[in-house]
A = this chain, B = another copy of it.
């Protein structure tokens, strides 16, 4: 960046107008399937098409903008907020993991003007359909396999988000963000199964999870009932304090290296 360029920075009008938006790839698991939050677009362009929730960034950290968009579309509210509005679930937003995914800025990705979009990736435990009694009635959860032909370049954004999620399950305790505060090893395994789309050996998975330091810690309790289709009561665990899984839990059937 040369001096002239920097000086020119004092007058933003000297440069072509750019808009910065924040889009969110929000993932959850419903009925054992990995789902993404989509909104139906009412206006042009791409009217009637589905898109990732998002909006313009205000004068706030980008992370906060993503959180705000997510709250608006799901009807969740942060827990420290005074008196959550009716129909909103107080505090649920606090249990959502949010991280920056990638930024998309190809010219022409929005036909109206130059738009640079910062995409965020969110992981949430199973949430209710955000329709009833909220201003987020246009948003709904869609199984990721059915989320095709999205507006803008959101197909690519979603694909990048999915790959990130699959990868992060390997070396971080992220899976615990998809389940409640207390969970069984079986529930955790279902998260991996849903996100990776592959069956995992129950016995080996069980031992592996318990062997990774800090991944989960026992609550001492068990479920009050066995599984719906039989089986003993399972022990309950909560997330441990590890930020990285070591050793990692690698995906099984991965092609080696060459791609």
A128 near B: Cβ within 8 Å? Answer: no
Please tell me if the beta carbons of B15 and A53 are within 8 angstroms of each other in the complex.
no
Given contacts A7-B43, A43-B7, A113-B9, contact A107 B61 (CB under 8 A): yes
Given contacts A13-B17, A18-B20, A105-B62, contact A53 B1 (CB under 8 A): yes
Copies in the complex: 2
Which residues 50-67 of A have a CB within 8 angstroms of B? Answer: 51, 53-62
- Which of chain B's residues have a CB closer than 8 A to the CB of A113? 9-10, 12
Contact residue among B1, B69, B246, B256 (Cβ-Cβ distance under 8 Å from A39):
B1
Which residues 39-98 of A have a CB within 8 angstroms of B? Answer: 39, 41-43, 51, 53-62, 69
Chain B nearest CB: distance from A47 CB in Å? 9
Total interface residues in chain A, CB < 8 Å: 63
Contact residue among B53, B69, B106 (Cβ-Cβ distance under 8 Å from A61):
B106
- Which of chain B's residues have a CB closer than 8 A to the CB of A214? 256-258
Please tell me if the beta carbons of B42 and A3 are within 8 angstroms of each other in the complex.
yes
